[in-house]
Amino acid sequence: MSPSVAGPVHDIMRNLCARSVVDAPVALVVAHPDDETIGLGPLLKLLRGAHAVHLTDGAPRELRGVHAAGFHSSADYAQARAVELGRVLDLAQVPAARRHAFPIGDQEAFRHLPAIAAALAALFQTLEVEAVLTHPYEGGHLDHDACACAVSLACRRMERRGLRPPAVVEMAFYHESEHGLVTQRFIEDSDDEVVIAFDQAEALVREEMFAAHVSQAAILGLFREAAVRLRPAPCYDFRRLPNRGHIFYHRFIEDVTPADWIEAVRAAHAWLDNPEAQ
């Protein structure tokens, strides 16, 4: 780990590597139920002061995706995912008082960036959050990118109010490459990246967490490496497409284009720049 990584980011990454408990107030901010398991898995239990924040309920609002998952309605699908998530957070010993969920549908977070950012900034301030663990901006999933952007906007909103924003740590998920989908890796290597391999007991807990997300079994089957990767968040320009324009979600979201994403981000930055929004 580079000596340049200091403060809360360094402390969290170092403690997780050493399997030391982190008592400081931390927010795990992810897009969907199951992202906490992919991004951190059994290490979540070490974050004793963690608040789990899920920006969507994981259920699409269009019925084709709902029926493909085996549910009759979006509400039924969302309820099933909430139950699954509850089992996982019980395993990770995250109490109900530290669980926060937004009533936003799958693939819809980008449409609500200002509201999400404002809510996150208020949450970070109220809880005196020192660090946030979240998604990288890599074009893997539309909601992942929206989550990364919303966290960034929330931190900037706090700065403009003269408040100290939390440090941001990223967890590896997936992105597209010229050879296909790449899972559990960042697009680019970093000297500040750490790889935390699970021991046998941790790997078994991870499998139990995976098994709890019954409705996501097919997707979770893509994440087989018994390890997680963490790094300090770089500075992104969210008004530019990630991953040199190689957008994986564009393949399966017919009614959302890269231009729609850029327009939503620009509108969110306009909101941030509006003094009345502060």
Tens-digit pLDDT profile for residues 57-89? 999 998 888 999 999 999 999 999 999 999 999
- 3-class secondary structure, 108: coil
What pTM does this model have? 0.95
Residues making up the chain, counted from first to last:
278
Domain presence at residue 1: no
Non-local (6+) Cβ contacts of 256 within 8 A are: 107, 110, 142, 249, 250
Please give the Cα distance from 146 to 148 (Å, whole number): 5
Domain presence at residue 278: no
Domain presence at residue 2: no
Cβ atoms within 10 A of the Cβ of 157, count? 23
Domain presence at residue 14: yes
Domain presence at residue 73: yes
Domain presence at residue 211: yes
- 3-class secondary structure, 133: strand
Domain presence at residue 116: yes
> Per residue in 166-221, pLDDT tens?
999 999 999 999 889 999 999 998 889 999 999 999 999 999 999 999 999 999 99
Please give the Cα distance from 238 to 235 (Å, whole number): 9
Q: Read off the CATH number of the domain in which 69 is found.
A: 3.40.50.10320
> Per residue in 102-138, pLDDT tens?
999 999 999 999 999 999 999 999 999 999 999 999 9
Please give the Cα distance from 116 to 30 (Å, whole number): 12
Give the domain extent around 135.
7-273
Q: How confident is the model at residue 17 (pLDDT cuts 50, 70, 90)?
A: very high
Domain count, the chain: 1
The pair of three-digit structure tokens given for residue 175, joined into one six-digit string: 């992105």
Q: Looking at residue 1, what is its pLDDT?
A: 45
Domain presence at residue 66: yes
Contact 172, 162 (CB under 8 A): no
Please give the Cα distance from 71 to 83 (Å, whole number): 14
> Per residue in 219-273, pLDDT tens?
999 999 999 999 999 999 999 999 999 999 877 777 888 999 999 999 999 999 9
